[in-house]
Amino acid sequence: MSQRSRRRTIGWTSLIAALALALGMSFIPSSYVIEQPGPVFNTLGTSDHDGSAVPLISISGAETYPTSGALDMLTVSVVGTPDSRPSWAEIVGAWFDSSRAVVPLEAIYPPSVTVDQQNEQNAAQMVDSQQEAIAAALTDLKIPFTSSQKVGVAQLATDSAAAGILEAGDIVESVNGTAVSTVDELKAAITANGDAAPASLVISRSGTEQTVQVTPKKAADGAILLGIGAAPSNTYEFPFTVDIQLDNVGGPSAGMMFALGIIDQLTPGELNGGDKVAGTGTITADGTVGPIGGIRQKLYGAEQSGATVFLAPASNCDEVVGHVPDGLKVFAVQTLSDSLAVLSDLSSGASTDSLPTCDTVQAAS
């Protein structure tokens, strides 16, 4: 065999080996997950609940009015879990797709939290966001209601003393007969109980009270712990019933769109002028709109669903500018009132040129 033939043979062999190695590696699980646009839900429409189509927002005990068009809330789907990670081939494909994002696995699934605990936490955040949305809508409409502060279970540690007893979203009403309304009061009551005997906790779960027994554990530093992440939780009593039915969706980012959907039903006319509007953002009872995750994927979800207007938290604008799909105009909002101002101009046909967009917000910062 000539020297040229040997070189050609070695070259082809090396190329085939490299391709085989690349092909083999493409099927190796990565250490990343993929975020992509998830389902879009019209807060003025219906959702699937136990196999039946039901109103996403239904109000009883108050006068309501017809609506039309859409006030869409957006979601983000995550491809991959700690037990089923995307391959490197999938990661490379997502890297070159502007509608998807490659994210480190631990950013979505912290090692200290199980997938089940993460799902419980997301479900609890969704419940809280719905209550805050109702409160924000009624505050804007000047409809009185009552509120009080409680202590909620935000999450449980993997080795929690309360594992299998408490759940994310539970409200702790009392410990050993003593009412608690702040995180500090809960800590003091658990410390007083010690780790030698169970503490008797009265909790509220999905509006139903029950009594449970939890034996706290002593940490290395001597602290007496339930093993929960406790956080202040506002509870409300509203003058009528607002029922939000949305299965298998978690997190707090739909709050603002829930509030707009509630206001639209409780007021005459069409808040959006019958158009298709999308948006995202957390909400608090005073109407403050907060930042959310996955904003770029939600922009593409809105564009794919046919929306031309998007309401985005102003605090997310640094992630928005330069990543807006063609045909979508993004308005920057800081409060529920800002969102209503955009919708008012859209429904009346007035010019929206003076309203802040993410481009103008970023240019001014």
Between CA 147 and CA 149, with CA 148 as vertex, the angle to 5 degrees is: 135
Q: What is the mean pLDDT of each run of 10 residues along the chain (365 residues)?
A: 51 49 58 93 87 90 94 94 87 90 89 76 83 95 93 84 90 94 93 95 90 93 89 89 88 94 95 91 94 94 95 95 93 96 91 88 78
Give phi and psi for 127, each to the nearest 5.
Answer: -60, -45
**Three-state DSSP class for residue 265:** helix
According to the model, what pLDDT value does residue 67 have? 92
According to the model, what pLDDT value does residue 14 have? 52
In the chain, where the domains are located: 32-112+132-143+239-364, 146-237
Q: Assign residue 227 a region: left if phi > 0, alpha if psi is -120 to 50, beta otherwise?
A: left
**Topology of domain 32-112+132-143+239-364, per CATH?**
Ribosomal Protein S5; domain 2 (3.30.230)
Q: Which architecture does CATH list for 146-237?
A: Roll (2.30)
According to the model, what pLDDT value does residue 5 have? 53
DSSP string, 87-116: BHHHHHHHHT-TT-EEEEHHHHS-TTS-HH
Q: What's the CA gap between 8 and 252, in Å, rounded?
A: 61
Is 146-237 the same fold as 32-112+132-143+239-364? Answer: no
Strand partners, 357: 331
According to the model, what pLDDT value does residue 19 have? 47
What is the DSSP code (8-state) at residue 210?
Answer: E
Decide if 30 contacts 86 (C-beta within 8 A). Answer: yes
Which residues have a Cβ under 8 Å from the Cβ of 11 and sit 6 or more positions away? none
**Three-state DSSP class for residue 203:** strand
Q: Which two tokens stand for residue 170?
A: 């539970």
Decide if 74 contacts 37 (C-beta within 8 A). Answer: yes
